[in-house]
Amino acid sequence: MSQPIVFSVFIDYDNLLPAQKAAGILDVVTKALIQLPLDEDITRAKCDVRVYGGWYEGTQITRLAQDVTIEIQQDFPKIIRLPFDNGEYVKLTTNAELAVALMKEPGHHLFNTLRRRERLGNIRVEEPNNVGCTDLDCVLPLMKKLINKGSCPKASCGVTVGKLIYRQEQKIVDTMLTCDLIHAASEQVHKVILVSSDDDFLPPLRTIILSGTEAVRFHPKQNNQRVTFPHGGAQFIEMDL
């Protein structure tokens, strides 16, 4: 019996729209796969899905990661029927998992992928008169002092900027996804499929098609701009999800 055709789907979870996250990973994967151009001689196929995000704060799994894990366990594995132009279809056995380690080294989890950043750089605070504010109690001067000093300017207050203003950011995740895209192409995958509009992934996508593997990028948000790669390499397709 011939080996099944293999598709690899890589989902940049933070790049999905809120409605797509609410609909679920299975819905995202199905909408992507049914748009793929297929060779009608395909008789057996399988699909491996990996979902990328900041799944660990330190070594603790995040609540979001737990929720997505439960969703994946409920919805996968799944048989997805992909239609051919002639009205026939192929059954695609689809499995999914959170990307918590490199495909090349699945036993080594990459922790600390979601980090709290308290010292925010490149922030400027306007003067009240520059924004048309004449209120004597305007908070802008206080905010400026707070950010510049790093703590409350009032001597009796010990509040620091980090307790008031911070953001969480992903680290390592994009690099892991990049490594996995290239690794998948080296494993004789039939198609590498990326769900993300982030142009940081264009270099690995170019590397993949130059290695002879077809690549498809789905934009979560409608995007009429398409990448123009130099000639050479396998087929590269861009579509809206």
Same-domain pairing of 131 and 102: no
Same-domain pairing of 33 and 134: no
Closest CA to 185 of 7, 5, 4, 3: 7
Global pTM reads 0.83
Domain of 157 in residue numbering reads as 119-165
Same-domain pairing of 97 and 133: no
Q: What is the mean pLDDT of the chain?
A: 88
Closest CA to 33 of 80, 76, 78, 75: 80
CATH of the domain at 67: 3.40.50
**Average pLDDT rounded to a whole number, residues 160-165:** 62
Which of 165, 196, 224 marks a domain boundary? 165
Same-domain pairing of 29 and 86: yes
Same-domain pairing of 81 and 193: yes
Which of 103, 137, 165 marks a domain boundary? 165
Which residue(s) pair with 10 in the sheet?
Answer: 50, 194
Same-domain pairing of 88 and 134: no
- Using DSSP's 3-state secondary structure scheme, residue 104 falls into coil
Provide the number of structural domains found in the chain: 2
Which of 134, 165, 196 marks a domain boundary? 165
φ and ψ of 8, to 5 deg: -120, 125
Per-residue three-class SS string for 148-197: HHCECCCCCCCCEHHHHCCEEEECCHHHHHHHHHHHHHHCCCCEEEEECC
Same-domain pairing of 79 and 48: yes
Same-domain pairing of 26 and 76: yes
Same-domain pairing of 21 and 99: yes
Q: At what angle do helices 202-210 and 173-186 cross, to 10 degrees?
A: 10
Q: What is the pLDDT of residues 42-100, one digit of tens each?
A: 878 899 999 999 999 999 999 999 999 999 999 999 999 988 878 788 899 999 999 99
Confidence of residue 236 (pLDDT cuts 50, 70, 90): very high
Q: What is the pLDDT of residues 88-109, one digit of tens each?
A: 888 999 999 999 999 999 999 9
Same-domain pairing of 225 and 159: no
Confidence of residue 1 (pLDDT cuts 50, 70, 90): very low
CA atoms of 186 and 104, how far apart (whole Å) = 11
CA atoms of 151 and 96, how far apart (whole Å) = 45
Same-domain pairing of 109 and 127: no
Same-domain pairing of 40 and 96: yes
